A and B are shown apart, each in its own frame.
Chain A
Amino acid sequence: MVKAMLVDYTRCIGCYQCVLACKAKNALQPMEPAEEPSVRSFTGVKKRKGVFVSRLCMHCQDPTCASVCPVGAFRKTAAGPVVYDKEKCIGCRYCILACPFDVPNYEWGVAAPKVTKCNLCADLVAAGKVPACVEACPTGARMFGDREALLAEARARIRSNGKTYVDHVYGADEAGGTSVLLLSSVPFGTLGFREDLGGKPLPQLTWAALSQIPNVVTMGGALLFGVWWITNRRTIVAAEREKEEAGRRAAGAPPPDEDE
C-alpha cells in the first residue's frame, strides 16, 4: 500500500513550521526558515503569485533518479518514499540533471560531497508514523496517508470547491505519478512547475534505447564476423595464388622482386 503526502497550497499560511521540523529531524543548520530546498533544508516555502508554495522531493512512483543512477543509490521503497544511499553515491550528478522536478541538491562546497533531498522521513513512515513536516503543520496543509485515499480526497476538494481550486491534482499523473500530490488555487505553471511532463515515467525513454543492446550485440557481432569471413576468403584466395606464382617462378625462373 503506497503512501503519499497531500499538500494543499490553499491551506498553507507560511508559518515555516514544516521547514523547522524537517531541519530538526535531519539535524540541518541553520535553524531558520528556508524558501527553497537546498543542502541545508529538504523543503522550502516561498510566496509566489500570492500563494505559499512549498516544494520538496515528489517521491515519484517510477523515479527518474533511481533509474539513472549507475550504482543504484536511489530506491523507491514499498511504502512510498524514495530514499538515497550516500554510501553508494559516486557523485556523477546524473540524478540532478535528470530529475524532471529539479529536486536533488549537491554539496558543492565539501571535499566528500553527497546528494541531498527529502526522504519523506522513511524511518518514521516505516514505523507507522508520519513525516516530521506533516506532524508539525498546524493547518493540515500537509497530510499523509494512503495514496489512493489522498487522491480521492484531493479530487473531492476540487469538486466541492470548484472556484477555489485549479482543476488538477499535480502529481496524479506527472512523470507517471508521484507520492507527493499538490492542490493549488493558481495554475501550477505560473508557480514554476513543469506542465508538459506527460503521464509516462521518464525512465521509459532510456529503456527504449537500452533494450536494443542485446540485438546490437548479437546482430552486430554476427554481421562483423560475416564481413571478416567473406573478406578473409578473398585474402586467402589471393595468398594461395601468390604462392602458386612463387612456386612456378622458383621452379626455373628468376627470383621474384622485393614486394612493394
Chain B
Amino acid sequence: MRGDGPSRFGFWKGVMGAALAVFAAVAVLRYTRGLGAVTNLSDQYPWGLWIGFDVLCGVGLAAGGFAITATVHLFHLRRFEPIVRPAVLTAFLGYLLVIVGLMFDLGRPDRIWHALVMWNPRSVMFEVAWCVMLYTMVLALEFSPVVFERFNIRAPLRILRGVTVPLVIVGVLLSTLHQSSLGSLYLIVPHKLHPLWYTPMLPVLFFVSAIAAGLAMVNVESRLSARAFGRHLELDLLADLGRVLLVVLGAYGILRFQDLARRGAFAHLALGRIEGQMFVLEIVVGLLAPMAILAVSRLRRSGGGLYLASLLVVFGFIMHRLNVSLTGLEAAAGVRYFPSWMEVAVSFGIVAAGFGLFALAVKYLPVFSAPLGPTPDRPAGARRPLSILRPRVT
C-alpha cells in the first residue's frame, strides 16, 4: 500500500477506531436516555448539527454521483468514465451515512418506515424522504456491477448494462428534486430565517450549489485516493472539471447576488454580528476565492491549485448549508446553539465510517477498474492496470 509506511496508516486506523468507539458509546446513551441527554437541542432550536451537517451537507456532498453519471452516460463524455465508479461509491456511502444520521436525529427512528405508508404529499419532508429512499436504491443499482464483477456473477451485469441510461436519467431527476427540496424545507420559515439566507430561491440555490459541491468532491476524492491508494486521474481531466466548476460557481454567484440585491438583504449585513461574519466567510472564502483560483488557467491546470479550489468550494458549500440551517435561525430562536461534544462525536464517527468503508471498498472491489465489457481476451474479475485511468477513445 502506498503511503508513508505502516505507522502512518496505523495512526489513521487508530483515529478511526477511537472515533467509532466513542460513537458507539454515545449511541447507547442516545437511544436509552433520549435526545435531550445527548444534544443541545430544544423546542426553540429543534434542528442542529445532525440535520445541518449530516443530512444537508451529506446529501449535497454526494452529488458527484449524479453529476458524473450524467456527464458520462447522458452527455457521452466517455473520457470521464474512470471517475464514475468512485463517484457512485461516494454517493452511495454518503446517502447510507445520511440515513444513519437520521436514525440518530429522528425522535422515533424505529418509525422511519412510516413515510412509506403514511403519505402527506403537501410536505416537503415527505418528498425528500421518498426521493432519498428511491435515489439510494438507484445508487445501489448503479454500484452493483462493481460487486457482481468481483464475484463473477454475469447475468445481472447484462441486465444492468441495458438499463444504465434510464437508471441514470431517473437518478438525475431524483437528485434534482431532493437536492432542491432540502432548500425548500426552509421556505416555510420566512419569519425565522435571517434575510441574508431566506429567499424563495432557496431550492434553486441548493440545487446549483449541489452540482458545484459534487464536482469539487470528485476532485478532492481523486487527490485523497492518490495519496492513499496510488490511484488518481489525469490532471487535464480534472482541469476540465475545474472549468465546469468555475461556470457553475459563476452561475451560483450571479443568482445569489441578484437575489440578495433584489430583496434588499444587504441592509442586514452587519459585520459586528455573527450572521454578517458567517456570511462574509461563506461568500469570500467559499465562493469568491475558489472562483479567483479557477479563473487563472495556470492555477486551474495545477494539481495543487485545483485541489485548493475544490476544498474551498466544499467549505463554502458546507458554510452555506450550516448558515441556512443553524446560523440563520439563531436570532429568531432567541438561543445560541452550539452542538454538544456528543453530537460532534456522532457526526465525526459517521464521517470516519464513511472513509473507512470507502477504503474497504477500494481494497476489495474493482472500484478503480473499467467496467468489464464482453471481451473474450480479458478474464472475468481481472483488473486493468493503472493505464485505464488515462483518457481513452471510445
Partners in one complex: yes
- Give A residues with C-beta under 8 Å from B: 64, 67-72, 88-94, 96-98, 100, 102, 104-114, 194, 196-197, 202-203, 205-210, 213, 216-217, 220-221, 224-225, 227-228, 231-232, 234-235, 238-239, 259-260
Let me know if B273 is at the binding interface, CB within 8 A: no
Q: Please, how many angstroms separate the alpha-carbon atoms of A96 and B35 in the complex?
A: 15
Between A and B, how many residue pairs show CB distances below 8 Å? 169
Let me know if B188 is at the binding interface, CB within 8 A: yes
Q: Please, how many angstroms separate the alpha-carbon atoms of A214 and B43 in the complex?
A: 35
* 30 A-B contact pairs sorted by A residue (CB < 8 Å): A64-B188, A67-B123, A70-B120, A70-B125, A71-B120, A72-B123, A90-B109, A90-B112, A91-B106, A91-B109, A92-B107, A93-B107, A94-B185, A96-B43, A97-B188, A106-B107, A107-B34, A111-B33, A114-B107, A196-B191, A205-B200, A206-B124, A207-B122, A209-B124, A209-B180, A213-B177, A220-B173, A224-B70, A231-B76, A260-B390
Interface membership of chain B positions 174-206, coded 1 if the CB is closer than 8 angstroms to chain A and 0 otherwise: 001100110011011111100000001001000
Q: Please, how many angstroms separate the alpha-carbon atoms of A234 and B123 in the complex?
A: 43
Q: Please, how many angstroms separate the alpha-carbon atoms of A217 and B175 in the complex?
A: 11
Which residues of chain A have C-beta atoms less than 8 A from B192's C-beta?
Answer: 97
Which residues of chain A have C-beta atoms less than 8 A from B152's C-beta?
Answer: none
Asked if residues B191 and A216 are in contact (CB atoms below 8 Å), the reply is: no
Q: Select one of B78, B108, B185 contacting A113, CB under 8 A.
A: B108
Q: Please, how many angstroms separate the alpha-carbon atoms of A110 and B329 in the complex?
A: 25
Let me know if B16 is at the binding interface, CB within 8 A: no
Asked if residues A72 and B108 are in contact (CB atoms below 8 Å), the reply is: no
Let me know if B7 is at the binding interface, CB within 8 A: no
Which residues of chain A have C-beta atoms less than 8 A from B121's C-beta?
Answer: 210
Asked if residues A71 and B190 are in contact (CB atoms below 8 Å), the reply is: no
The chain B residue sitting closest to A85, CB to CB, is: B118
Q: Please, how many angstroms separate the alpha-carbon atoms of A232 and B165 in the complex?
A: 11
Which residues of chain A have C-beta atoms less than 8 A from B348's C-beta?
Answer: none
Let me know if B344 is at the binding interface, CB within 8 A: no
Asked if residues B173 and A104 are in contact (CB atoms below 8 Å), the reply is: no
Which residues of chain A have C-beta atoms less than 8 A from B123's C-beta?
Answer: 67-70, 72, 94, 206
A239 and B394 contact, Cβ closer than 8 Å, known pairs A92-B125, A94-B125, A106-B107: yes
Interface positions, chain B 55-86, Cβ under 8 Å from A, are 70, 73-76, 78
Q: How far is the CB of B273 from chain A (nearest CB, A)?
A: 20
Q: How far is the CB of B188 from chain A (nearest CB, A)?
A: 5
The chain B residue sitting closest to A90, CB to CB, is: B111
Q: How far is the CB of A211 from chain B (nearest CB, A)?
A: 10
Q: How far is the CB of B357 from chain A (nearest CB, A)?
A: 26
Q: Select one of B74, B115, B180 contacting A90, CB under 8 A.
A: B115
Which residues of chain B have C-beta atoms less than 8 A from A108's C-beta?
Answer: 34-36, 41-42
For the complex of A and B, list the 5 residue pairs with the smallest distance between their C-beta atoms, beginning with the closest. A91-B107, A108-B36, A231-B76, A71-B118, A72-B120
Q: Select one of A88, A209, A260 contacting B187, CB under 8 A.
A: A209
Which residues of chain B have C-beta atoms less than 8 A from A98's C-beta?
Answer: 188-189
Q: How far is the CB of B99 from chain A (nearest CB, A)?
A: 13
Let me know if B129 is at the binding interface, CB within 8 A: yes
Asked if residues B393 and A259 are in contact (CB atoms below 8 Å), the reply is: yes
Asked if residues B173 and A217 are in contact (CB atoms below 8 Å), the reply is: yes
Asked if residues A221 and B169 are in contact (CB atoms below 8 Å), the reply is: yes
Q: Select one of B73, B107, B187 contacting A89, CB under 8 A.
A: B107
